Structure 1
Amino acid sequence: MYGKYWMSPETTSINRLPMLNMEHLHSITLDGPWRFQLLDRADASPAGSWNIENVPSLWTIDKGEHHYKDSPIYTNTQMPFDNLPPSVPLHNPTGIYERDFTIPDAWEKKRIVLSLGGFESVAVVTINSKDVGMAKDSHLASEFDITSYIKKGNNSIRLRIVKWSDATFIEDQDQWWHGGISRSIKLFATEHVFIERLYLTPGLLPDNKTGTLKIRAYVNSINEAPLANWTFQARIVGVSKAQKMSQTFINHSRTLWTKKTREQKEITDSEFHGKYWDGNVPDPVKKVLRELDPPNPGYAEFEVKVPNISPWSAESPTLYEVEIQLLDPSGKVAEITSKKIGFRDVKVVGNEFLFNGKPVILYGINRHDFNRETGRVLTRDMFRSDLLELKRWNFNAIRTSHYPNDPVFLDLCDELGFYVVGEANIESHAFLDSICDDQKYLVAFVDRVSRMVERDIHHPSVIFWSLGNESGFGLNHLASAAFVRKFDSSRPLHYEGGIRGNWTHGQEVTDVICPMYPNISAIVSYAKSKKADRPLIMCEYSHAMGNSNGTLAEYWEAIHSTKGLQGGFIWEFWDHGIDQKLPDGRMRSAYGGDFGEDKHDGNFCCDGMFFPDRTPKPALYEMKHIASPILISAKNANTGRFAVLNKNFFIDLQGYELGWTIAANGEILDRGIVKIPKTKARGNTAFAISSKFLKPANRSGESFITFSLSHKSPTSWAPANFEVAWAQFRLTNKSISKPKTLNTKPVEFVTAEGEIVLPYGVIAPQLTLWRAP
């Protein structure tokens, strides 16, 4: 094995391949039943009988068949044990997973890769009794080349999953601690020459009609297979005028220093000694320098313009398919894949965040991976259900608190239309001010941030890269930020720790002021000050625990009326109440302490806008109204004159239908449909309602006119006529005769005997008491 790898923060992986988020044509799943044992120590050996566990699943979730002596633990800021980093308890639940598998005959001469989607928190891979490698980071896939470990016929795989490790100290998020395999496992096969890394960066020019696409591809090989005459090519499907992208690799030979011509030596000497210090190198000189120091074979880079495209936005999420091929020297397709991209532009200019040139507003929410029955094991359908639910409540933005989600989640965000803050799996809450400057954790910080960016760079939905959550501000963040700024300049950085305590600092690590739970007066004061050099988007606000979410309207009144304030992310999506079966057979939503754990943070995990069973809480109705795509105002309700503001930034109102009703004392008197003018994005248009019941003489009692905005056609998240917004205005009633003047003499409400007297009451009051069972 690898020594005490689980307490070595410098060792983030052994033999792990570079991050590659790419689907492969030749792929088989290893999900399903595995032999399983739960051990007490990280270095213990399995013995005795085996149980059967399905993969993916968490051994900390009671599934009925087997109940292991390791249950979920909920903590917020404290660690679940008292050790100091990187040391962890000797008692360390460790799962051993085993199964057999057979490689298809067609894969016999191919390169074979094992992909582990997610595990908590360390995985050691063994194939046919030989150790292959090790990896950390619970929320990004780890892949291993197992070609040389495979034999013909039956093969065996063992995964040792260690729960507590040095990585645990930087995965100290406000959530349940679990153990197990949380995402899918698969094998895929390639030729001996293959695409090793692939980065697609789409963009958008200021005309909002011309897209840009930068592709960086790294082709590699095993067993010294030559790359000469292999071809990498790409095309944007369905775009006829897009520039062709193709490169055939050749083997370059470097000129020996002793074989340089006089001209070559003079050119290299002049360049080396600083003749072109200002960077203005003549083209003939560049040509000679490239000939003398050619690039390594296997790297391809393209930058093209794509005319007449439709931009991507959360309001109109138009996607294009990019087809990627790797051809062998005979021209035969050796590898083929595709990626969906969207053309858009993201930048920060002064104190405004601009998306496709517009200062969009983010109606956001924080979201953990959670399911009350399966913990952090989620399917594509579960992800989709979450996103469709958010669409129905008018949210348009998500922060992946506090780690990268499964790649399928971002695929769905691209498709359905959400702005996403992609957050690295870094939080050291219990050691906020120390680990961030601890050199032992430097590689882990940079590794987690860089691998997230490399995996998700092609997603149009991702608008910010977040360096993590509540992990202080130190040298490790500076190193991570430096990597991202160099690798992907198309997106700004986001990190709350960089501005905590001083919103004028932290420019090295964050391009946005992203505070937690600031006062309304504070955000307005910042936005109006001369020191406001960046936009302000709250990364967390309006903590949704219990009957909370007060002052939502006041927050948004400030945001909608103040330049530089561009929204925020409510904490959070769900109450994290795990289904727990009690001895008498009843089910309850469990929180911290309900599994017998000593160290926990109680019910602080029940802080979502939805209950664990997906029932919405009342605050959602207010938030839906705030985030609605229109705002109706009354110029004169009693004469039927109104105006509608299209709050969208990119689409008009042609896809909506606006209905109205007039009611008195709850009885509907009249109804109709408004012919909504086209009303371009951010436009304001007047309209009128005609009804005899607008006149007070034609109705009596308390009267209102109510508007309801709905989709004309069905969407992926709602049927036709689904209500997305509403507004209501009181109508003036006909005059009512004044009541008779009451006796103004002082009234005694309590008699000498202590009885309550209500002189104008009809029914005597009765005392009603209620207590919680």
Structure 2
Amino acid sequence: MNAKMTWLDDPEVFGVNKLAAHSDHLFYPSKEEMLKKESSLMQSLNGVWQFAYANNAKERPIDFYKPEYDASGFGSIEVPSHIELNHHDKIHYINTMYPWEGHIYRRPVKEDTPEGIGLFSEASYNPVGAYRTTFDLAPGLRNKPITICFEGVEQAMYVWLNGAFIGYGEDSFTPSEFDLTPFIKEQGNVLCVEVHKRSCAAFLEDQDFFRFFGIFRNVTLYAKPELHVEDFYVKPELAEDQRSGSFGVEMKLSGKVVKGTVKIYLRDQKGKELLAAQMPASEKVIFAPVTLEDITPWSHETPYLYEFLIEVYNEANVLVELVPYLVGFRRIEIKNNMMLLNGKRLRLLGVNRHEWSAKTGRVITKEEMVWDIGCMLRNGINAVRTSHYPNQIPWYTLCDEAGLYVMAEVNMETHGSWQKMGAVEPSWNLPGSDKKWLAAVLDRAKTNFEVFKNHPSILFWSLGNESYAEENIAAMHDYYKAVDCSRLVHYEGVHHNRAYEDRISDVESRMYARPAEIIAYLENQPKKPFILCEYMHDMGNSLGGMKDYMELFDRFEMYQGGFIWDFIDQGLMVNDEVTGAQVIRYGGDFDDRPSDYEFSGNGIVFATREEKPAMQEVKYYYERYK
């Protein structure tokens, strides 16, 4: 067995040769391209790839990454897509348990036991997808450093270019980037990706959803100009008077940084220039905060965004890169145990949202995202929780523009490790306090922060979902507090382990607490404002008790709302075997066991993006309590 296969079993190996996570900005070589929003420095590799499927690592085509390999026996697959929806492997939905329960006994590698070794790398069932494509570099990418970005690959991947090993990555829902520069050619490149359905990362990705695998988000090449903005962090601060504030920027540059100039501009929506500054280029450039007056704050009611622009000039004073971004000024804080946004009591009229399409699963289009945004706005929804993983990059920009408050969740749920048959039973749980898992969960927190840190819509960093609460989650909380003082940190799992009550979450967050339980908390000298990260489970003929929750807004200032479970049904459109008609099927309809069956269908919107009757109740109360 290839030694690299053992990475699938090792929680301490979750990325090999991956580039550091960075802000989600686009960049352009000229003003003309920036205005057209078409960059000659980018090349999409989406499309039809060659593909072969195997049941496990032993049966996979081991040498397929070699350029001379005869792949004439391969089939084809669309990238991005799920392998299961291309008629390979099994479609499987499950909620709280791990998908292998009842089939095989598994426990992960931990500090005090090696029993996880071989569980995935040597499993008789751990499907593998072998992807292979060829490409020539587009003219704008030639003779420049080249990075490849995989925006989402589920669940573990190995990458080769022209026969050379490039890297390894886990964390299905955040970008994985690798440097291709030493191995790339202008023509005839052979790119190969091997995707494994399960790795030790599966212990951290036990979300309530269909368990798919494959390259399910965009694959893109980026060329870096001679002087390049690798990363930036804007600091738009709103003062207590809600009208003045400050603006500063930290950025990292690569390339020929010994000479050159960086200029920044901040303009309002009328084109008025609020800030213009420049500094010599260096690996790290810091523009100290500048005081600003007459700021228009960003909020749901007024999602005002300012135009921020970075211009990079080389030593000959030639413009080589432009980076545009939209930024907003808002202030979230807790005063007198109440959350305030821009000095006013925050009311979260929210919904949890999986990324979903009835036809393509978690491979969704921007048009579907735009529909979701519009549906939320016309029905009074002002907040969304990215349950339970980072969403596609455009989603956060759409929320900035629409004024939707975002709870940005880390890709982590370990439900099956501590809740057994409905009981809280943490005799073994992840990530717990086990040091072998600490680096992996911190990396997930860091990537979530680094990619999305510049979005004003994000009010909360959420430390994942239903993963109990011990030292490793406390370390995630401490990380966010160290890098970002402009947002709150959320985690519900502390409700199950009160020893960490003061160490993890800024808010008291619960799921499905009855109104009487909420009243008992709020009448008993509460320490923190209260929210429901999940409530009003909308399955079947549900949502009838919403009035009791909404009236709590009138009784308690520290009651600050919540997020309905959930937005859209997870149902798949298939052709019925008997009638040939297109029908929607749910968990259990694919002979998937163990399964939680139609529990995948609990949205206020059908899988086909049609509003359910329950949406009328949502609109009535959410509009009333805005």
Report the equivalent of 2:175: 141
Answering whether residue 458 of structure 2 is matched by residue 426 of structure 1, we say no
Distance 2:367 2:320 in 1: 32
Structure 2 stretches of 5 or more lacking a match?
29-40, 65-70, 109-115, 419-425
Distance 1:6 1:411, change over 3 A: same
Report the equivalent of 1:330: 316
Say which of 220, 223, 227 aligns to 2:257: 227
Answering whether residue 86 of structure 2 is matched by residue 84 of structure 1, we say no
> Superposition pairs for residues 552-571 of structure 1, below 5 Å?
552-571=546-565
Distance 1:399 1:485 in 2: 20
Answering whether residue 61 of structure 2 is matched by residue 37 of structure 1, we say no
Report the equivalent of 2:91: 72
Cα deviation, 1:178-230, whole Å, max 9, x if unaligned, reads 01111111111113442222112322112222243231111134xxxx52223
Contact kept? 1:119, 1:183, Cα under 8 Å: yes
Say which of 532, 535, 542 aligns to 2:529: 535
Contact kept? 1:592, 1:601, Cα under 8 Å: yes
Report the equivalent of 2:436: 440
> Superposition pairs for residues 477-516 of structure 1, below 5 Å?
477-500=473-496, 502=498, 506-516=501-511
Contact kept? 1:38, 1:96, Cα under 8 Å: yes
Contact kept? 2:543, 2:617, Cα under 8 Å: no
Answering whether residue 459 of structure 2 is matched by residue 463 of structure 1, we say yes
Answering whether residue 86 of structure 2 is matched by residue 56 of structure 1, we say no
Report the equivalent of 1:24: 27
Contact kept? 1:323, 1:337, Cα under 8 Å: yes
Distance 2:449 2:17 in 1: 20
Q: TM-score, normalised by structure 2?
A: 0.88
Rg larger in 1 or in 2? 1
Say which of 150, 163, 167 aligns to 2:201: 167
Cα deviation, 1:69-94, whole Å, max 9, x if unaligned, reads x1221111111113222533332111
- Cα deviation for residue 48 of structure 1 reads 6.1
Report the equivalent of 2:7: 5
Cα deviation, 1:123-164, whole Å, max 9, x if unaligned, reads 211111111111111111111111111123221111111111
Contact kept? 2:16, 2:169, Cα under 8 Å: yes
Contact kept? 1:350, 1:533, Cα under 8 Å: no
Contact kept? 2:470, 2:500, Cα under 8 Å: no
- Cα deviation for residue 470 of structure 1 reads 0.5
Answering whether residue 598 of structure 2 is matched by residue 603 of structure 1, we say yes
Say which of 410, 413, 421 aligns to 2:396: 410
Report the equivalent of 1:116: 150
Distance 1:200 1:527 in 2: 37
Structure 1 stretches of 5 or more lacking a match?
251-296, 631-646, 649-773
* Partner AA of 1:111 in structure 2: P
Distance 2:193 2:218 in 1: 13
- Cα deviation for residue 615 of structure 1 reads 3.1
> Superposition pairs for residues 677-756 of structure 1, below 5 Å?
none
- Cα deviation for residue 105 of structure 1 reads 3.7
Cα deviation, 1:313-357, whole Å, max 9, x if unaligned, reads 011111111101222122222221111111100112232010001
- Please tell me the root mean square deviation across aligned C-alpha atoms, in Å: 1.8
Report the equivalent of 1:734: none
Report the equivalent of 1:578: 572
- Cα deviation for residue 505 of structure 1 reads 5.1
> Superposition pairs for residues 266-285 of structure 1, below 5 Å?
none
Is the partner of 1:627 in helix, strand or coil?
Answer: helix
- Cα deviation for residue 520 of structure 1 reads 0.5
Report the equivalent of 2:277: 245
Contact kept? 1:24, 1:189, Cα under 8 Å: no
- Cα deviation for residue 241 of structure 1 reads 5.7
Contact kept? 2:267, 2:275, Cα under 8 Å: no
Distance 1:553 1:240 in 2: 46
* Partner AA of 2:216 in structure 1: S
Distance 1:360 1:616 in 2: 27
Is the partner of 1:409 in helix, strand or coil?
Answer: helix
Distance 1:595 1:241, change over 3 A: closer
Distance 2:275 2:27 in 1: 25
Cα deviation, 1:406-429, whole Å, max 9, x if unaligned, reads 110011011111011000001011
Is the partner of 2:448 in helix, strand or coil?
Answer: helix
Report the equivalent of 1:158: 192
Report the equivalent of 1:308: 294
Is the partner of 1:134 in helix, strand or coil?
Answer: strand
Answering whether residue 361 of structure 2 is matched by residue 375 of structure 1, we say yes
Is the partner of 1:435 in helix, strand or coil?
Answer: coil
Distance 2:617 2:562 in 1: 15
> Superposition pairs for residues 190-209 of structure 1, below 5 Å?
190-209=224-243
Contact kept? 1:34, 1:53, Cα under 8 Å: yes
* Partner AA of 1:248 in structure 2: P
Distance 1:232 1:14 in 2: 32
- Cα deviation for residue 501 of structure 1 reads 5.5
Distance 2:494 2:262 in 1: 41
Contact kept? 1:242, 1:305, Cα under 8 Å: no
Cα deviation, 1:225-252, whole Å, max 9, x if unaligned, reads x5222323321134656343322146xx
Contact kept? 1:18, 1:197, Cα under 8 Å: no
Contact kept? 1:366, 1:400, Cα under 8 Å: yes
Q: TM-score, normalised by structure 1?
A: 0.72
- Cα deviation for residue 524 of structure 1 reads 1.6
Answering whether residue 348 of structure 2 is matched by residue 346 of structure 1, we say no
* Partner AA of 2:457 in structure 1: S
Report the equivalent of 1:590: 585
Is the partner of 1:126 in helix, strand or coil?
Answer: strand
Contact kept? 2:92, 2:593, Cα under 8 Å: no
- Cα deviation for residue 575 of structure 1 reads 1.6
- Cα deviation for residue 438 of structure 1 reads 2.2
Report the equivalent of 1:673: none
- Cα deviation for residue 471 of structure 1 reads 0.6
Sequence identity percentage: 32
Distance 1:615 1:374 in 2: 16
Answering whether residue 611 of structure 2 is matched by residue 616 of structure 1, we say yes
* Partner AA of 1:12 in structure 2: F
Distance 1:508 1:152 in 2: 53
* Partner AA of 2:280 in structure 1: T
Contact kept? 2:311, 2:321, Cα under 8 Å: yes
- Cα deviation for residue 619 of structure 1 reads 2.3
Answering whether residue 252 of structure 2 is matched by residue 218 of structure 1, we say yes
Contact kept? 2:267, 2:273, Cα under 8 Å: no
* Partner AA of 1:519 in structure 2: R
Contact kept? 1:241, 1:307, Cα under 8 Å: no
Contact kept? 1:527, 1:563, Cα under 8 Å: no
